[in-house]
Amino acid sequence: MSKLKIVLPAAALAGSLMAWPAYAHGFGERTELPVPLGYFLIGAGFAVALSFVFISVLVKVSAEASYWRFNLIASGWSRATLTSPLVLVPVKLLSVFLLGLVIATGFGGESSPLLNFSPTFVWIVWWVGMAIAVALVGNIWALTNPWKILFAWAEGFYRLIRPGRDLSLRREYPAKYGIWPALVLFVLFTWVQDSYPKSDVPAQIAVMAVVYSVITLGGMAIFGKHQWLRKGEAFSVVFGLLSQFSVTEVRVIDRDACQTCSTECQDLEGECVDCYECFERTKTRQINLRPFAIGLGRNQPVTNDVLALVVLMLATVTFDGFSATSAWAEFQTFVVDLLGSGGGEIFNSLVLADTIGVLLVPVGFFLVYLFFSKLMASLVDGQISALEIARIFGYSLIPIALAYNIAHFITLLLIQGQLIVPLASDPFGSGWDLFGSVDYSLNISIINARILWFLSVALIVLGHVLAVYLAHRVAIRTFANRAMVLRSQYPILTLMVVYTVISLWIIAQPIVQ
């Protein structure tokens, strides 16, 4: 993604963007702040610490899994609107069309990333935009996933010509695999995003889209659609985790419907939430509004693989920002000086340096988190192991990852994301003007740098405050008495304060690459 932050802004082409300071983590060359940066860092850290006092002393936090909900499809007209084929079919057709367009423009369009639809759409509109949308609105990826749609269409056609037969082999998915296949695929995706020098080349994007299509459709054909989507399809798993923060959920009321589910969909309270397999085949279902972040506080099991993915998500978005700072540039220089500047275009010292970051930063994050979990275990008299505590509190890290993700990528989405307007008219770079928008110029003043700074500070602090709230809620559910609840929170609060400061420092740095 770091490469895109340099290549894609150049698409303004006319020089208007050239006159604008080099925006990196949102602010460009160190915005003139009303007070020194250090004061912001101290103040933000203090705000997070103060929130713990407020939440633990003044706010009545319940350990109960229940929370306020409003069913959006309770009435006939709303149910007819939200579940109508007239609404759903065009959305699904558009999603499949866009996947086809990414592949077609990648192979058959202009080779320049600036003039081709696929780089801007995949890296900015889809990856950045979808991640934010599912976290705030709800899991729209479950509706728009083109591979899921294509497989469902193929299943429907197959049953027409061979009634009573399934397209999928429905092999039993090995329980020991968990979501490790999805995690491995996400690590590869992260490496492409942060290390692969050709990540913005349209033809390479098309190849990756085809390869991933084969893997995903093949996984569904072998293990079943829903089984693979919940375990092996990287983006369904990642977006599913992020969507637990969102303001909507799908819920199945009839627990008997879960008896034939291909996965263990019920949480520890016996609730079936966000299981789209059960949701598709029962009529006792709801699409609910709920408070933000409350879904992450549900009493649900967190296994080692899920914990690893949560930590990976937090680490990778942090590394994506840190990799564009002068500190990382110095490390790259060190590696080049050590190994030399030789090597091919793809495999060279710079790629090796970035690969080290992609692989080792998540390991470092996990070790730090495990260390603080061990401190928590010691403060509760060793009743629970450090690893178990790490799992129990794992979901409380997601608001932090989400807040940093929005703060880090908001400029990319709002400014460079506008490139999709002219590219929609000329996706192949062939001189078309399908919608009359090919001459659209980027509006670089859509958001003020100083406002963006304050917004980013607010987002990061809010994300950490929500994490403190969720951790406190989990602690109340986990530990026997109030004294133990409070003691257990001191280490994780310290970790959150430190990460608040680090996050703000990173996004305040100007891009150097």
The three state secondary structure string of 79-123 is: HHHHCCHHHHHHHHHHHHHHHHHHHHHHHHCCCCCCCCHHHHHHH
DSSP 15: S
Between 255 and 86, the higher pLDDT residue: 86
The listed range with the strongest mean pLDDT (32-36, 59-63, 452-456) is 452-456
Residue 16 has pLDDT above 50, yes or no: no
Residue ranges in 224-303 assigned as alpha helix (H): 225-231, 234-243, 276-281
Q: Sign of dihedral through CA atoms 367, 369, 504, 200?
A: positive
- Tell me the per-residue pLDDT of 244-297, one tens digit each, with 9 for 90 and over: 999 999 999 887 778 777 777 888 888 889 998 888 888 888 999 999 999 999
For residue 300, count CB atoms less than 10 angstroms from its CB and return exposed for 0-12, middle for 13-18, buried for 19 or more.
middle
More confident position, 364 or 79: 364
Does position 33 have pLDDT exceeding 70, yes or no? no
242 token code pair:
């992020």
Write the Ramachandran bin of 178: left for phi over 0, alpha for psi from -120 to 50, otherwise beta: left
Dihedral of the CA atoms 347, 352, 357, 363 (nearest 10)?
100
Phi, psi of 175 (to 5 degrees): -60, -35
- In terms of Cβ atoms closer than 10 Å to its own Cβ (0-12, 13-18, 19+), residue 422 is buried
**Side chain identity at 262, as an amino acid letter?**
S
Residue range 123-133: mean pLDDT, rounded: 97
Banded pLDDT at 13 (limits 50, 70, 90): very low
- In a 3-state reduction of DSSP, which class is residue 344? coil
Average pLDDT, the chain: 88
